[in-house]
Amino acid sequence: MVEPWYEPTTQASLCFEAADLPTKSVVVYSDRAEVKRVVKASLAKGTNEIVIQNVSAVIERQSVRVDGRGALIQEVQYQEMPIDTEHEDEKIRALEREKLSVESERFAVEDEMSSLRKRIEVLDGVAGQIAAGPPSTSSSPSGSLPNMSRRHTVIGSTALQAPNQATPSLGFLTNDDALNNLAKFLSYYGETVSEMKTTLRIRQREWDKYSEKIEALERQIDQLRCGYEYDSVRRYSSIYFERILQVKISLFILHRKKM
């Protein structure tokens, strides 16, 4: 059941959306199709009204037939009502405002994701520099004389020693303070980058949800605009009947659609 968009004519009235009613059968012909839908409801004994809202635009007005179990059908009416354009425009404006709000939330998430990526990039760069080690200082100044080997005698033997011979620089590992600082950085790097990547994944999921919501709102806005441009009339069928049995009534609504 749905809220009616018109004033019911009797106190005992129920409203249903046509698209929500279950279909019992469909018979297709060359120029038309016959559709039978089912309405089940529990109402008070006496005169009642059931309203089927938003009936299809291609229905044949005179083709509506209703058969019931537990009720005596009195009258079936088919009516059309112009759409309230001001009300429809307000619905579109409300959806557009909601869309702008969701877009603002998505922009905030995008900014946070960008900041997290930059911070991770900086920390990765520092870690890469430490892993590469200090820069080499073995290069000789421009214009200096070629390296000359010197001869030394050690216990009667002669050996050649090249001056300025480069040896691996591990000075940063020979200082206790430097080692402690390195250990602290590696611990900070591991914990911080892990936390930031976890947060980044969470923000990515939030961004995806905001994007899906924005797409859904855009579809609703487009449907309302296109629906109003295509058809500015609402259609509904009113079924008046007398309940004669203390059972749950079933109404079978048969109508034809033009092909």
pLDDT digits (tens, 9 = 90+) for 71-81: 788 888 878 77
Local confidence band at 168 (pLDDT 50, 70, 90 cut-offs): very low
Q: For the segment 219-246, what is each residue's pLDDT rounded down to a tens digit?
A: 999 888 876 666 667 777 777 777 766 6
Structure tokens of 190? 């591991």
Work out whether strand 46-53 and strand 13-17 pair parallel, antiparallel, or are unpaired. parallel
Asked if residue 161 is part of any domain, the answer here is no
Q: Shortest CA distance to 122 belongs to which of 188, 213, 166?
A: 188
Cα-Cα-Cα-Cα dihedral of 10, 248, 61, 240, to 10°? Answer: -30
Asked if residue 153 is part of any domain, the answer here is no
Q: Which whole-number Å values give the CA distances from 106 to 103, 197, 200, 255, in the listed order?
A: 5, 19, 14, 47
Asked if residue 159 is part of any domain, the answer here is no
Predicted local confidence at residue 153, as pLDDT? 44
Asked if residue 29 is part of any domain, the answer here is yes
Asked if residue 53 is part of any domain, the answer here is yes
The residue segments making up the domain with residue 78 are 13-83+232-258
Q: Are residues 77 and 175 in the same domain?
A: no
Q: Are residues 71 and 114 in the same domain?
A: no
Predicted local confidence at residue 145, as pLDDT? 44
Domain total for the chain? 2
Q: Are residues 73 and 24 in the same domain?
A: yes
CB 66 within 8 A of CB 73: yes
Asked if residue 32 is part of any domain, the answer here is yes
Q: Tokens 């120029």 map to which residue?
A: 31
Q: For the segment 108-142, what is each residue's pLDDT rounded down to a tens digit?
A: 999 999 999 999 999 898 888 887 876 555 544 44
Predicted local confidence at residue 18, as pLDDT? 82
Q: Are residues 190 and 99 in the same domain?
A: yes
Q: Are residues 91 and 202 in the same domain?
A: yes
Q: Are residues 77 and 55 in the same domain?
A: yes
The model carries a pTM of: 0.47
